[in-house]
A and B are shown apart, each in its own frame.
Chain A
Amino acid sequence: MKRGKSKKYFWLQRLRIFSQFAFFTLFFILFLKTHYAGEDYLKTTVERYFHFDPLLALTTIIGSRLIYAALLYSGITVLATLLLGRFVCGWICPLGALHQFFSFIFKKIRWLRPKKDDRASLAPKYFILIFILVASILTVNLAGYLDPLSFLFRSLSVYFSPFLNQVLLQTGNLAFALGLKTLGENMGQAMGNLALNSVFQNAFLIGLLFLIVLALNAWKERFWCRYLCPTGALLGLFSRFNLFKLKIDQEKCINCHLCSIQCETNARPYPVDEWRSSECIYCQTCAAICPTAAISFPLRWQAEKIKGIDLSRRKVLLTSLTSLLIAPIFKITWHRQRSFPALIRPPGSLPEAEFLSKCVRCGECMKACPTNGLQPAVTEAGPEGVWTPVLVPKIGYCEYYCSLCTQVCPTGAIRELTIEEKTKVKIGTAWIDKSRCLPYALGKPCIVCEEHCPVSPKAIQLIKVETLTPEGKTVSNLAPFVNVETCIGCGICENKCVVVNEPAIRVSSIGEQRSEKNRLILEVTGENQSQ
């Protein structure tokens, strides 16, 4: 009998690597395209990947009790998984591709080689999934923290984008220092065109987490996919038919265990009948490396049962109970009763409760924001809202004619707005701190906030004020006065105020249109009531 590796599966494996590369590249291109490139409306649906994610669909639909139409694309993923198993993890998932790549690199380096210990339970990700799903019943949306697409996009937005910007900046600096003026200029212009956001609060944690997760591949191959990924777990539960089933030709098999040792997700192709179909991601590695070509994936119509994963009823119940106990803690906060002043949400954001049930912390809006103003919340939104987007005017303001963040939200937590609609949305109100404002406090001229106010007629008006100086002189200057009715809370005044460390004009969320409670001026208009 002729012995040798299978050519067919060798090429299928190459095809899989190519597919991973292509899907990752596409994801990355869409990431880079998520910015203002000269058009008011993005032509590409840059957030399309997220619509195919069944975990995000499930948690936002359960959490908000609403169906966001675009997320129905995830039905395609579910259907495909029902029939073909978790191939999405092995062939399409961009984070999976990244993990695979790092596993591959680490395997080449002796002291970083991942351990081949197959005894560790693969169940944790299922419990993470159950925890998340149960929490979403209580309208606490935790999916975004560990969903692979959210995790990757957020890490790219908050950590990699500033990193890339630094690379361009330093290359430019170096080029200028070396007298390579053209290269330096090109770098600077590329920075202007890409407009990569370069400052993020909490980037340290988000970036560190990303690097740790990548480094875990040196411990176990595809650590994330094996133990952590809730989306992978969900797809595992859906993988019922797995039309292409692993088959070992007993006559050819030489019991070398190589397939099980090399299996990326520890799906145990060997011994026979121990194959964990819910774990197999169809990477084709086992079939390709089998020295006798004993492994194949023939078509067979038969439902599969989840095997080799310890999902006892008791553990599932216990996890659900834990979630039911822990999830409400996220809500024990005064943020629900009274709005937090620094919680300035992007224009078009749904009312806070709905917003929180839908936002998956993917960071799309933060990448799209042209001024870097949208930041991952740390404390602004309470424990429930960690890493949801919040406008921090000290870092960046809301650009008047821009509605990009509303165009890229994958779950509809931020409602899509036209530019015209957006310019009318009030997200907060500016307040003057007279004890710091130059004309008021120092008797010095300054109209910077008024000059920058984009609304016409300006929401910051000028009034004459007199300030008594220690010399007993009275100086008269023009000083800002905010018209709360027309102020939209964009924050450019706060951003440009010369009192840079704690601006003399600051925006707080009061008056935001999306909230019925966080209002300042009582509007009693007979017409509206009669309608």
Chain B
Amino acid sequence: MERREFIKSALLAGLTIKFTPDLFPQKTVTGNPEMAVVQGDSPAAITKEALQILGGMKRFVSRGDKVIIKPNIGWDRTPEMAACTNPEVVKTLVELALTAGAKEVIVMDHTINQPKRCYVRSGIQEAASQAGARVLFAEDQRLKKVALKGEWLKEWEVYQDFMEVDKIINVPIAKVHSLSKVTLGMKNWLGAIGGSRNQLHQKIDQAMVDLAAFFRPALTVLDGYRILFRNGPQGGLISDTKLMKTIVAGIDPVAVDAYGATFFDYKPQDLLFLRLAQERGLGKYELEKVKIEKRKI
């Protein structure tokens, strides 16, 4: 009888802890800023520092978690063209996630140019696998039509890989785009879906918000090491890029994008997708209301 009682009470205690969020408040969380902006020469070091400021990767990844990291690997371009996320940034995040106890880290993107070429020439395949991630090609068989319940997109084909993980980390790169003006974190979700993505451009801002409302990353790390300010979103010349040497990491995806917009001298309130996202309650673009910690290393 003793054993049965023990199991019963243990179960009860466990359930109580699980469903009473304020029972054991995690002190570390409340004290940390919502957003970290770090500038420095090494992409890896500033990424690490930004995560440190936010309270460490442990805040976002728990032991045994299955994590997917979503960089922008859309184009067949080398890192100095700033069309894809910096491989060092991705690599660092993989390392941090694994150190934080992640069981498995997947890195994938639905590319625009030929997948293998994008994976290889962006440098991300090699960098992320070195760090211990499983770098997967987006497979058509893994697409599944799901209810997005968006304002515009009611349903769409999503890679199941994104739905089978515990945590999603979004790692976009900051670039200009001739329709949404900039492509940052929220637009990066176009790489997590299948279907005829190009049709989304007919109402791109709404599509970005609908997708952002669906994916809900635990963490957004915006790569602003080298940004693309001309000829977006793929550039082609080094002179189309600018070295900003900055990483913006945060919990609020809207706030991170709002900060990213300032790289290109856009006021966040001028960007339709940011306004729509705030209206939807995905976060806030008014940066003055966000607790930001900036650092230079």
- Chain A residues packing against B (C-beta within 8 Å): 36-38, 169, 172-173, 176, 184-185, 188-189, 191-193, 195, 370-371, 399-402, 438, 444-448, 450-452, 454-458, 462, 478, 496-498, 500
- Which B residues between 126 and 142 are near A, CB-CB below 8 angstroms? 136-137, 139, 141-142
Known: A36-B116, A399-B117. A445 touches B179 (CB 8 A): yes
Q: How far is the CB of A465 from chain B (nearest CB, A)?
A: 14
Contact B117 A456 (CB under 8 A): no
Residues of B contacting A195 in the complex (Cβ-Cβ under 8 angstroms): 114-116
Known: A401-B117, A450-B178, A451-B177. A188 touches B137 (CB 8 A): yes
Contact B142 A401 (CB under 8 A): no
Report the bound CA distance from A173 to B141 in whole Å.
7
Report the bound CA distance from A496 to B179 in whole Å.
16
Q: Which 10 A-B pairs have the closest CB atoms?
A: A456-B236, A192-B137, A188-B139, A370-B114, A448-B198, A456-B237, A38-B120, A456-B231, A498-B198, A447-B179
Contact B141 A169 (CB under 8 A): yes
Contact A172 B139 (CB under 8 A): yes
B196 interface residue per 8 A CB criterion: yes
Bitwise interface map of B from 134 to 170 toward A, beta carbon under 8 Å scored 1, else 0: 0011010110000000000000000000000000000
Contact B141 A184 (CB under 8 A): yes
Q: How far is the CB of B225 from chain A (nearest CB, A)?
A: 20
Residues of A contacting B213 in the complex (Cβ-Cβ under 8 angstroms): none
Known: A446-B201, A498-B196. A462 touches B178 (CB 8 A): yes
Report the bound CA distance from A476 to B198 in whole Å.
20
Known: A172-B141, A462-B178. A401 touches B76 (CB 8 A): yes
Bitwise interface map of B from 174 to 209 toward A, beta carbon under 8 Å scored 1, else 0: 000111000000000000000010110111100000
B86 interface residue per 8 A CB criterion: no
Report the bound CA distance from A38 to B17 in whole Å.
50
Report the bound CA distance from A497 to B137 in whole Å.
23
Contact of A188 among B114, B141, B178, B198 (CB under 8 A): B141
Contact A452 B112 (CB under 8 A): yes
Q: How far is the CB of B279 from chain A (nearest CB, A)?
A: 20
Report the bound CA distance from A172 to B143 in whole Å.
13
Known: A188-B142, A193-B116, A451-B177. A458 touches B137 (CB 8 A): no
Known: A195-B116, A370-B117. A457 touches B198 (CB 8 A): no
Known: A184-B141, A450-B178, A478-B178. A38 touches B231 (CB 8 A): no
B172 interface residue per 8 A CB criterion: no
Bitwise interface map of B from 97 to 126 toward A, beta carbon under 8 Å scored 1, else 0: 000000000000000111111001100000
Contact A192 B139 (CB under 8 A): yes
Contact A371 B137 (CB under 8 A): no
Report the bound CA distance from A188 to B138 in whole Å.
8
Residues of A contacting B232 in the complex (Cβ-Cβ under 8 angstroms): 451
Contact A457 B231 (CB under 8 A): yes
Contact A456 B139 (CB under 8 A): no
Report the bound CA distance from A214 to B231 in whole Å.
53
Report the bound CA distance from A185 to B135 in whole Å.
12
| Known contacts A451-B201, A478-B179; 4 further A-B pairs (Cβ under 8 A) | A37-B116, A193-B116, A370-B117, A455-B236
Q: How far is the CB of A109 from chain B (nearest CB, A)?
A: 36
Known: A444-B202, A462-B178. A399 touches B114 (CB 8 A): yes
Contact of A399 among B113, B136, B178, B233 (CB under 8 A): B113
Q: How far is the CB of A185 from chain B (nearest CB, A)?
A: 7
Contact of A454 among B139, B204, B234 (CB under 8 A): B234
Q: How far is the CB of A447 from chain B (nearest CB, A)?
A: 5
Contact A496 B198 (CB under 8 A): yes
B235 interface residue per 8 A CB criterion: yes
Report the bound CA distance from A462 to B178 in whole Å.
9
B293 interface residue per 8 A CB criterion: no
- Chain B residues packing against A (C-beta within 8 Å): 76-77, 112-117, 120-121, 136-137, 139, 141-142, 177-179, 196, 198-199, 201-204, 230-237, 240
With both beta carbons as reference points, the residue of chain A lying nearest to B77 in the complex is identified as: A401
Q: 14 interchain pairs (CB within 8 A)?
A: A169-B141, A188-B136, A188-B141, A189-B136, A189-B137, A400-B113, A401-B76, A444-B202, A448-B201, A451-B178, A451-B179, A454-B236, A497-B198, A500-B196
Residue of A38, A184, A456 with highest tally of chain B CB at under 10 A: A456
Contact A185 B198 (CB under 8 A): no
Contact of A458 among B136, B179, B199, B231 (CB under 8 A): B231
Residue of A438, A445, A497 with highest tally of chain B CB at under 10 A: A445
Q: How far is the CB of B47 from chain A (nearest CB, A)?
A: 26
With both beta carbons as reference points, the residue of chain B lying nearest to A192 in the complex is identified as: B137
Contact A402 B117 (CB under 8 A): yes
With both beta carbons as reference points, the residue of chain A lying nearest to B177 in the complex is identified as: A451
Q: How far is the CB of A213 from chain B (nearest CB, A)?
A: 32
Residues of B contacting A191 in the complex (Cβ-Cβ under 8 angstroms): 137, 139
Contact of A192 among B116, B179, B236 (CB under 8 A): B116
Residues of A contacting B236 in the complex (Cβ-Cβ under 8 angstroms): 400, 454-456
Report the bound CA distance from A456 to B80 in whole Å.
14
Contact A176 B141 (CB under 8 A): yes
Q: How far is the CB of A100 from chain B (nearest CB, A)?
A: 35
With both beta carbons as reference points, the residue of chain B lying nearest to A402 in the complex is identified as: B117
Q: How far is the CB of A426 from chain B (nearest CB, A)?
A: 16
Residues of B contacting A446 in the complex (Cβ-Cβ under 8 angstroms): 198, 201-202
Contact A438 B142 (CB under 8 A): no
With both beta carbons as reference points, the residue of chain B lying nearest to A498 in the complex is identified as: B198
Residues of B contacting A452 in the complex (Cβ-Cβ under 8 angstroms): 112, 234
Residues of B contacting A438 in the complex (Cβ-Cβ under 8 angstroms): 202
Residues of B contacting A451 in the complex (Cβ-Cβ under 8 angstroms): 177-179, 201, 232-234
Contact B116 A370 (CB under 8 A): yes
Report the bound CA distance from A438 to B199 in whole Å.
10
Q: How far is the CB of B144 from chain A (nearest CB, A)?
A: 11
Report the bound CA distance from A498 to B179 in whole Å.
15
Report the bound CA distance from A189 to B116 in whole Å.
10
Report the bound CA distance from A458 to B235 in whole Å.
8
Known: A188-B137, A451-B233, A454-B236. A445 touches B204 (CB 8 A): yes
Residues of A contacting B230 in the complex (Cβ-Cβ under 8 angstroms): 457
Contact of B76 among A173, A400, A448 (CB under 8 A): A400
Contact of B114 among A185, A371, A447, A497 (CB under 8 A): A371
Residues of B contacting A448 in the complex (Cβ-Cβ under 8 angstroms): 198, 201
Residues of A contacting B136 in the complex (Cβ-Cβ under 8 angstroms): 185, 188-189
Q: How far is the CB of A167 from chain B (nearest CB, A)?
A: 14
With both beta carbons as reference points, the residue of chain B lying nearest to A444 in the complex is identified as: B202
Q: How far is the CB of B264 from chain A (nearest CB, A)?
A: 16
Report the bound CA distance from A399 to B77 in whole Å.
11
Contact B201 A447 (CB under 8 A): yes
